[in-house]
């Protein structure tokens, strides 16, 4: 039965819980912080009563860690386990929280693990449109045994019925429950700075009586609606001179004056977040009382207790902690995992009042604020800058308004000469968030399909994907994205990894390698490029298969001097060969190997101090992330490599996993290009 709650369930919660209690799968599409977790807890309670298991999946490790703690508090720590790759706690428990990838891998390798499974909860199922990881959600849905029920939890999407129809077609009757009402009403504001008054801020509501505020248009430059350079006859117009984007320090001051803190101020670059924090601190801002500052001091001290003073000095922790004491912080993908945990813990406790964050905070743990500031409506998407989609805007503003604390949340959009007021209104009021499948077979998926079933079974599975379902609806005919399966299988055959619908011995490791460059990893293994290397050398060579430089450009290839460089050059040449083969078959290629982290990986594996391996190219968080990616790949090589490779890989993992790399569990190694480039 559902646990007892000190509040009455909303209509959508009751409807979804009723479906679960009757044994039907359910898709719930509802806003952030609306209480979707109640439905998951109902499924868990039902399974516990019948002595059966539940798997709770989430897209990122930080969210898994939070859900593990929440569920352990609710159902008892003896009932709940955690599996994220980084952590393995009671994997035999009745309720196990895991990343979606862990469950996908489990389904391919050992289906007996799910023999007594009653429910799988797919949190943040709208991630299935992610171009890098989205296919994982579909693989889970398609490969789960038929008796297992699904609770799919999603942000509000405009095609929830279509997703529900697909789930019904592949899993059986699925109840679709949609809630569009936010638990805390949202007020959206427009922030404009007036140049002639020292850039004083003007704040006006985006909507008045349900219609766009007629005052908003007066802030638009009078020339191009997109604002190219807003010049007339070679001179900037008077309107263009009058308005400006608000300064970050002025925004924070305005929010404080109007009782709108705590706030998350979204800045779509890591450097911008750090600069914003430093600028606010230089202005003398201090948002905490002496008592709050002392609480911060004690909390930070406890959290950093396992980090050596030498490492803290290398990480600049003293300067970072000084900002925390004054209630100000930055939060982004490049932050040390432990530092991110500290920021999240302090913010959840009300001890941080202003956090400058990239969109990774909106994708992660549940941290609502009274106000959310969106500095720009454009962001880097991995290749260039693009305007936020309605779905992304909703994801960011979903953090505004704390349930049970705030009567309303506030979303504040800053003025820009490149986005007219009408576009801001359109983005804020749009209900258009169409979920599109990003399903595509990977080499690992193809290898697993070949290893576990017939060609006909594989083609049937792919034809049942959400991507194919959407294509059938759009085209009105039964077209087979099987073409993608055949193309990848042709590449595997050409490279000697498969013979028809059969894996060759050199191709069998592919079923156990989960990496964006999965085929190149196995090619490197089969070609002997990882043989005969000691632990430090194999860490250096493996890093070129995991490292991705932020921003444009690639690292220079190493000189042909030294064994490590020769091995890396061999992998680079192998990758070029593979790309040529893929082009012949129309298969998109993975990112090329990048040797830019090899020296750092080797030195860290050799035992160098943190201060000796950090460079201007990456900060502490980026360093830890890349070391963990190398360690993860080496862990896989230890399972599939030759005896000598496996031995060196295991020793390398032991050498890499030390110090700051092992402290803090909120790290998520699977970040998109947009997050990496921000």
Long-range contacts of 558-561 (CB under 8 A, 24+ apart): 558/595, 558/598
For residue 55, give the nearest of 171, 131, 135, 141 by alpha carbon.
141
Question: For the CA atoms of the chain, what is the radius of gyration?
Answer: 26
What are the structure tokens assigned to 54, written together? 């539940």
* Cβ contacts of 566 within 8 Å, gap of 6 or more: 560
What's the CA gap between 536 and 492, in Å, rounded?
Answer: 31
- Of 360, 356, 387, nearest to 373 by C-alpha is 356
The contacts of residue 2 (CB under 8 Å, 6+ apart) are 17, 21, 38, 41, 42, 45
Q: What is the pLDDT of residue 224?
A: 45
C-alpha to C-alpha distance for 677 and 382, rounded to whole angstroms:
6
What's the pTM? Answer: 0.87
Tell me the per-residue pLDDT of 338-358, one tens digit each, with 9 for 90 and over.
Answer: 998 899 999 999 999 999 998
**What parts of the chain have a pLDDT lower than 50?**
224-237, 666-678
Looking at residue 541, its pLDDT comes to: 97
Which residues does residue 178 pair with via DSSP β-bridges, in sequence order?
29
**Token pair for 463:** 């034809």
Give start and end residues of each alpha helix (H) in 150-214. Answer: 160-171
**Do the Cβ atoms of 520 and 590 come closer than 8 Å?**
yes
Residue 619: CB atoms within 10 Å: 19
Cα dihedral across residues 281, 285, 291, 292: positive or negative? negative
Q: How far apart are CA 539 and CA 606, in angstroms?
A: 10
Looking at residue 477, its pLDDT comes to 53
User: Which string of b and e fits 123-148 if b means at least 16 CB within 10 Å?
Assistant: bbbbbbbbeebbbbbbbbbbbbeeeb
Give the pairing of strands 328-331 and 378-380. unpaired
- The distance in angstroms from the start CA to the end CA of the chain is 44
Find the Cα–Cα–Cα–Cα dihedral 59, 65, 70, 73, rounded to 10°.
150
Structural domains of the chain, ranges and CATH numbers in brackets: 11-178 (3.40.50.300), 186-286+327-429 (3.40.50.300), 443-677 (1.10.3380.30)
Residue 8, burial from CB neighbour count under 10 angstroms (0-12, 13-18, 19+): exposed
pLDDT of residue 226: 46
Q: 324 near 391, Cβ under 8 Å?
A: no
Encoding tokens for residue 255?
């929010």
């Amino acid at each position: 039965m559902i646990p007892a709650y000190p509040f009455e369930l909303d209509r959508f919660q009751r409807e979804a819980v009723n479906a679960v209690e009757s044994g039907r799968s359910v898709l719930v599409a509802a806003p952030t912080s609306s209480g979707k977790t109640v439905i998951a807890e109902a499924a868990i309670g039902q399974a516990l009563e019948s002595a059966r298991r539940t798997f709770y999946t989430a897209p990122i490790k930080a969210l898994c860690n939070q859900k593990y703690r929440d569920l352990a508090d609710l159902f008892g720590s003896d009932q709940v386990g955690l599996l994220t790759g980084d952590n393995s706690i009671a994997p035999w428990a009745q309720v196990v929280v895991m990343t979606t990838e862990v469950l996908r891998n489990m389904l391919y390798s050992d289906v007996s693990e799910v023999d007594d499974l009653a429910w799988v909860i797919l949190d943040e199922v709208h991630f299935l449109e992610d171009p890098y990881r989205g296919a994982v959600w579909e693989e889970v849905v398609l490969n789960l045994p038929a008796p297992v029920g699904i609770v799919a939890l999603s942000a509000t999407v405009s095609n929830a019925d279509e997703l529900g129809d697909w789930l019904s077609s592949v899993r059986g009757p699925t109840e679709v429950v949609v809630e569009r009402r936010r638990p805390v009403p949202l007020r959206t504001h427009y922030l404009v700075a007036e140049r002639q008054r020292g850039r004083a801020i003007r704040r006006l509501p985006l909507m008045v009586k349900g219609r766009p505020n007629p005052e908003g248009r007066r802030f638009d430059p009078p020339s191009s609606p997109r604002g190219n350079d807003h010049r007339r006859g070679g001179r900037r117009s008077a309107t263009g001179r009058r308005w400006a984007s608000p300064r970050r320090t002025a925004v924070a001051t305005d929010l404080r004056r109007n009782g709108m803190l705590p706030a998350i101020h979204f800045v779509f670059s890591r450097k911008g977040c750090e600069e914003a924090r430093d600028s606010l601190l230089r202005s003398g801002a201090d948002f905490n009382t002496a008592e709050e500052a002392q609480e911060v001091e004690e909390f930070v001290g406890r959290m950093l207790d396992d980090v050596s003073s030498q490492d803290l000095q290398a990480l600049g922790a003293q300067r970072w902690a000084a900002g925390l004491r004054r209630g100000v912080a930055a939060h982004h993908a490049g932050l040390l995992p432990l530092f991110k945990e500290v920021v999240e813990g302090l913010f959840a406790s009300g001890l941080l009042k202003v956090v400058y964050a990239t969109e990774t905070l909106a994708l992660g743990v549940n941290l609502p604020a009274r106000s959310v500031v969106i500095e720009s409506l454009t962001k880097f998407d991995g290749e260039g800058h693009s305007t936020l989609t309605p779905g992304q805007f909703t994801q960011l503003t979903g953090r505004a308004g704390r349930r049970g604390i705030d009567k309303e949340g506030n979303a504040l959009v800053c003025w820009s000469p490149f986005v007219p007021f009408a576009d801001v209104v359109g983005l804020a009021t749009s209900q258009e968030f169409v979920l599109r499948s990003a399903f595509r077979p990977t080499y690992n998926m193809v290898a697993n399909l070949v290893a576990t079933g017939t060609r006909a079974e594989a083609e049937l599975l792919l034809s049942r994907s959400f991507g194919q379902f959407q294509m059938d609806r759009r085209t009105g005919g039964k077209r087979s994205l099987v073409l993608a399966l055949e193309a990848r299988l042709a590449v595997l055959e050409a490279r000697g990894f498969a013979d028809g619908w059969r894996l060759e011995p050199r191709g069998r490791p592919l079923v156990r390698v989960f990496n964006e460059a999965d085929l190149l990893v196995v090619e490197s293994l089969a070609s002997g490029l990882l043989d005969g290397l000691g632990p430090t050398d194999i860490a250096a060579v493996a890093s070129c298969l995991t490292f991705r430089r932020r921003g444009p450009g690639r690292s220079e290839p190493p000189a042909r001097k030294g064994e490590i460089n020769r091995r890396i050059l061999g992998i680079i040449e192998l990758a070029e060969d593979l790309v040529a083969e893929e082009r012949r078959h129309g298969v998109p290629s993975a990112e090329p190997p990048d040797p830019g982290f090899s020296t750092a990986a080797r030195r860290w594996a050799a035992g160098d101090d943190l201060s000796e391996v950090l460079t201007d190219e990456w900060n502490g968080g980026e360093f830890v992330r890349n070391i963990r990616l190398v360690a993860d790949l080496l862990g896989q090589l230890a399972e599939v490599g030759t005896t000598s490779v496996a031995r060196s890989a295991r020793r390398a993992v032991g050498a890499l996993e030390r110090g700051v790399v092992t402290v803090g569990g909120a790290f998520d190694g699977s970040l998109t290009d947009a997050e990496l480039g921000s």
